[in-house]
Amino acid sequence: MMEKIGFIGTGVMGNSMAEHLLAAGYELTVYTRTKEKAAALIQKGALWAASPAELATDVDVVISMVGYPKDVEEIYLGERGVLKTKKGGYIVDMTTSSPALAKKIFAAAEKIGVCSLDAPVSGGDVGAKNATLAIMVGGEREAFTALLPMFEKMGKVIRHFGTAGSGQYTKMSNQIAIASNMMGVCEAIAYAKKCGLDAQAVLETISTGAAASFSLSNLAPRMLRGDDAPGFYIKHFIKDMRIALESADEMHLELPGLRLAKRLYDELAKHGMENCGTQALIRWYMK
């Protein structure tokens, strides 16, 4: 069993994920750019590290859950990065990031005898709090098998998809599906309201049939309440859609639904809504 875990990034999802590992009995060391953000975990027994490099010196596994690919690259490959000090063991990036970067980190880690996995997640703040995340893993199967008990403390559906980058490619498929689905949910609500229907009653009815989806059941009620609080930030979703479109372009695959969704979210971001939750897309339709 891997006993010591270093966790980098304690945001909307990372904090809950780290809490589950701490509650499961792992010795946890955390690093965030602002120590105050980790205060609750430290009070519960987590240790503190002043940099990714310091964190990596005495843990079996390093996990990262941060915002952007540039953050991931800095954490692992930067001057004070994890791979400057990590000796053996495992690194696991659970950020939704670039497949190309996942391959780059894997290659750098392999050269120094460190096993690297890309393991992005889906399920938002609710999945993180309830330890029901879907975890999509790329990298060597032996490393996946070794860390499966740890993944089971954070997620419910956990699957290995292949070589380095496969987890990120799978997460891009997830985000592509969500992008068009979110537009559909918003359009259904806007249409129901325009018809003079009770939107709540419509939602309760159609969520039990063929239209059922996570977004319809979990995010549409927030739309009706006018609750824009982020379970997943618009700015991060825009980042994900950009990565998906870039990789699709590389494969000469046209994704018109994804392009439209990104354009709508870009408009919201331009109006200062980048820190709202993705459900705030309803405001584009109700403007």
pLDDT digits (tens, 9 = 90+) for 118-166: 999 998 888 999 999 999 999 999 999 999 999 999 999 999 999 999 9
- What does the mean pLDDT of the chain come to? 95
Domain locations in the chain as residue ranges: 4-163, 169-286
Cβ contact 218:126 at 8 Å: yes
The per-residue pLDDT for 1 is 54
pTM recorded for the entire structure: 0.92
Pair 128, 16: CB distance under 8 Å:
yes
The CATH number, out of the four listed (3.40.50.300, 2.40.50.100, 3.30.70.20, 1.10.1040.10), of the domain defined by the range 169-286? 1.10.1040.10
Distance CA 91, CA 100 (A): 16
Q: What is the full per-residue pLDDT of the chain (287 aa) written as tens digits?
A: 569 999 999 988 999 999 999 999 999 999 998 888 889 999 999 999 999 999 999 999 999 999 899 999 999 999 999 999 999 999 999 999 999 999 999 999 999 999 999 999 998 888 999 999 999 999 999 999 999 999 999 999 999 999 999 999 999 999 999 999 999 999 999 999 999 999 999 999 999 999 999 999 999 999 999 999 998 899 999 999 999 999 999 999 999 999 999 999 999 999 999 999 999 999 999 98
Nearest residue to 170 (alpha-carbon basis) of 124, 142, 135, 125: 135
Active site includes 70?
no
Q: What is the pLDDT of residue 36?
A: 85
> Is residue 7 helix, strand or coil?
strand
Q: Which fold has domain 4-163?
A: Rossmann fold (3.40.50)
Write the DSSP assignment of 215-249 as a string of letters. IIIIIHHHHHHT----SSBHHHHHHHHHHHHHHHH
Q: Are strands 90-93 and 155-162 parallel, antiparallel or unpaired?
A: unpaired
* Separation of alpha carbons 195 and 216, rounded Å: 19
The active-site residue out of 103, 104, 171, 239 is 171
Q: Which amino acid is at 103?
A: K
Quick: pLDDT tens for 67-97.
Answer: 899 999 999 999 999 999 999 999 999 999 9
